[in-house]
Structure 1
Amino acid sequence: MNRPLAFGVRKKCKEGMASMYEPMTENYRSLLATCRAELRLLGYAKGTAKLCGAGEMLRWLEERGLLDLAEVGKDDMAAYLAYLTTRPSATGGALSLYTVTGYLFSCKLLFDYAERHGLRGGSPLLGLELPTPPASTRKAVSRAVINKLYQAAAEDVRTTVLLHLLYGCGLRRMEVVDLNVGDVDHQNGLLYVRSGKGKKRRVIPLAARVAAGLKNYQKRERWRWVSGANSGALLLNDRGGRMLGNVISRRLAAVVKRAKVKEIITPHVLRHSVATHLITKGMDLERVRDFLGHDHLETTQIYTHVNAGDT
């Protein structure tokens, strides 16, 4: 009997709002665990390696008696795709195209893993007409908006440091989460990203304003949140632990609200903005690429076409 998926076993993903449905059979649970471990070793982002969409797919397959991934065919995946387009989201509406394509990408990673390890041949997603979300545009905000954010954060030292890291250093959100105290070299004015996207390391020169802000925080302010359980993280939450991605996003949203700016600003928008501003100031693309940690110059060249208004 096919029970509604809502009654399946599930665990909350630690990052983001999505729920991750955990399969109940040992076969699928083991498959998911080993695939996650390999993706982490390959340097996939933590959110991607959680395989939330693949976990839900496996639970959906179990509900329909398909307990071996080798038995799953194209028709089964077409049915799963139809299910995703009708399944309600956590807020009650339909899943967005971005969410659906993200789930399917997660499933693709699982099928690719199974093929690499001889657990099945080929992916049942091949040949399906998959939804394509509208092409995203790189968004950036002007320097005037950035200044308003800094002004609104002036009385909040941790939020100011957050702006220094996301905008002043162009870090990704998870790169901020992973920073430790020892990653800031005050003597030489450098910040070390030990394991960025794809496990890449890079060294970022600190602008004078950023260097001064980080030094002030570490030398005079950070002690306020240090606890016995502190792990050495650079940014600490109110309990003295590492400040995680959801808290970073909430703090940024709060300062955007205080600044009374109309633009939608996320951590990645700040990264886009500093890249755009550096290019418009005349910095070589190669240097901007190294600053951002891009693999290919073509990725960095996108920012030459971004319009940030009065940059």
Structure 2
Amino acid sequence: MGTDEWVPDSQDHQKNTSRKIIDLDQGVAAADDSLAAWTQRYLDLAVQGVRSDEVTGKITRHLNRFTGWLTEGLGHDRVSAVTPREVAAWRDHLAAEGNIGRRPGDSAGIGRRDDTAMAPATVNNHLAHLSALFSWITVHAPPGLLRHGDPTKKVEPLPLPAPQVRALAGPQVRTVKNVLDRIEGFHQLTGRRHRSGDTAPAVHRHARPLRDRAIVHLMLGTGLRRAEVVDLDLGQLDPAHPDELRRVKKAKLNGVRGKGRTSRNVFLGRDARHAIADYLQSERPGDVDEQTQALFLAASSIGARRPGGRLSPRSINTIVGEIGRIHDAETTDRQRHLGTLRPHDLRHTFGYRLSESSGHNRAELERRLGHANDRYLRLYTNPPDDIAAAYVEDL
């Protein structure tokens, strides 16, 4: 039997472990035209164990959203009924009201659904996962199931807006670092019972101010992406002992894994070295368990943290955003306010400052940013608005 051939259940056949073979034990007739069944086959045979758990979860959510939306609209989930019109309508639905949250309810306390537009890049990510599913179905489907071919091929992704970049200006960098120098004080408990005695006030049991300071200094001083930060292991840090880390000037992170399976070594500046050393010495040991390998850990007091304590990329958004919130609350000069501070703002700031200090050395930018695409290199090195405005002030 060929790897793509379907046979009736009544025929004896030897099971083949190839990913191109569909398990027919449950009966083809019942599942042939069910999108839910095909989605589960695809996940079992081509996604789980091949992609990371995080990516597998994202693909599963996106495909289940399409199945639910199709079933709600047509009253069934037949694969043969999926047309380019349906795929395009789903794309437009996500773009118009794809984000589902909860807004405060009425006087009875009942929450109401709040549907908001989904970002074009997120919509296109949904489409890419759906396209991969139908490409797989096309290869493995029995004849006649997709009479008009892959329904996703004729649906164009949404156009992406021009990327908006923001590098922090020099005064903003200074005040951010000032906040980082004092970050422990912002996490101290202020109740009366915590103010008595000669000991330093305690911090919230989930708070890890030294970790947060180390992460922001690291991103500001290296341009690492948030996913690269959470993927770091302690074993990549050279040297890894706090005293040595403070002393040497060529400390680095070895084999940082970037996009496109790239890998690079990243040197650490003084601020990042000292901040990481403080974290390793004072906070990290209390959060280590037998599975721990990650450099930066979630607090062990958090019951739902991952085995080993590794942070999620989304947690980096929370950490960086909180630093921005504290910064703006502390800064009376509105010209220095950051608004919502995002991890990529730190990356853009590093890119611009590195471009300035290296004389716009393209090779150095590629090496340190982990990006060889000219378009993105230009974006990462755009100057802050106040500097860009000064260029034309007297022209």
CA contact (8 A) 2:167 2:382 kept: no
| Structure 2 SS opposite 1:211 | helix
Q: Distance in 1 between matches of 2:378 and 2:341?
A: 22
Match for residue 58 of structure 1? Answer: 67
* C-alpha separation in 1, matches of 2:217 and 2:362: 21
Partner of 1:76, secondary structure, is helix
Counterpart residue identity of residue 130, structure 2: C
Q: Which residue of the partner structure matches residue 110 of structure 1?
A: 133
SS of residue in 2 equivalent to 1:53: helix
Which residue of 1 is the match for residue 339 of structure 2?
Answer: 263
Q: Can you list the C-alpha shifts for 1:230-281, whole angstroms capped at 9, x where unaligned?
A: 5121111111722222322212111111111333321111111101111122
Alignment-derived partner of residue 236 in structure 1: 297
CA contact (8 A) 1:256 1:265 kept: yes
Residue 31 (structure 1) aligned with residue 53 (structure 2):
no
> Displacement of 1:158 after TM fit?
1.1
186-195 vs 286-295, greater mean Cα deviation: 186-195
Q: Residue in 1 aligned with 2:91?
A: 81
Name which of 253, 275, 278 aligns with 1:191: 253
Answer yes or no: is the 8 Å Cα contact 2:355–2:381 preserved in 1: yes
Verify: 1:178 aligned to 2:231, yes or no.
Answer: yes
Counterpart of 2:352 (choices 234, 257, 276) is 276
* 1:97–1:132 CA distance, 2 compared to 1 (3 A): farther
Asked if structure 1 preserves the Cα contact closer than 8 Å seen for 2:230 and 2:296, the reply is yes
Distance 2:294 2:46 in 1: 28
Q: Could you give the per-residue CA deviations for residues 210-244 of structure 1, whole angstroms, max 9, x where no partner exists?
A: 22322232234422333x34512111111172222
**Larger radius of gyration between Structure 1 and Structure 2:** 2
For 1:192 and 1:173, locate their aligned partners in 2 and report how far apart those are by CA, in whole Å. Answer: 17
Q: Is the 8 A contact 1:179 1:233 kept in 2?
A: yes
Aligned equivalents of 1:149, 1:24: Cα separation in 2: 50
Shift of 1:202: 0.9
2:82 matches 1:72? yes
SS at match of 1:237: coil
Distance 1:107 1:306 in 2: 38
The alpha-carbon distance between structure 1 residues 122 and 290, as it changes in their structure 2 partners (threshold 3 A), is farther
Letter in 2 for 1:57: F
Q: What code does the residue aligned with 1:84 have?
A: L
The number of residues matched between the two structures is 283
Unaligned runs of 5+ in 1: 1-22
Q: Which SS does the other structure have where 1:191 is aligned?
A: strand
Displacement of 1:287 after TM fit?
A: 1.1
- What secondary structure sits across from 2:253 in the alignment? strand
Q: Output the amino acid matched with 1:100.
A: V
CA contact (8 A) 2:94 2:117 kept: yes
Q: In 2, Cα distance between the equivalents of 1:145 and 1:134?
A: 27
2:118 maps to what in 1? 96
Shift of the alpha carbon at 1:183?
1.0
CA contact (8 A) 1:140 1:276 kept: yes
- Aligned partner of 1:164: which letter? H
> Given that residues 36 and 77 in structure 2 are in contact (C-alpha distance below 8 angstroms), is that contact kept between their aligned partners in structure 1?
no
Tell me how far 1:79 sits from its aligned partner.
3.4
Q: Which has the higher contact order (CA 8 A, sep 6+)?
A: 1
Aligned residues of 1:170 and 1:292 also touching (Cα < 8 A): yes
Q: Does 1:215 align with 2:277?
A: yes
Distance, in Å, in 2 between the alignment partners of 1:310 and 1:274 is 15
Given the two structures, how large is their TM-score scaled by the length of structure 1? 0.77
CA distance in 1, matches of 2:43, 2:281: 44
Contact 1:289/1:297 (CA < 8 Å) preserved in 2? no
Worse-superposed segment, 52-61 or 79-88: 79-88
What secondary structure sits across from 2:257 in the alignment? coil
How many angstroms does 1:38 deviate by? 8.2
- The match for 1:167 among 200, 208, 220 is 220
| Alpha carbons of structure 1 residues 303 and 220: separation in structure 2 relative to 1, 3 Å | same
Answer yes or no: is the 8 Å Cα contact 1:276–1:306 preserved in 2: yes
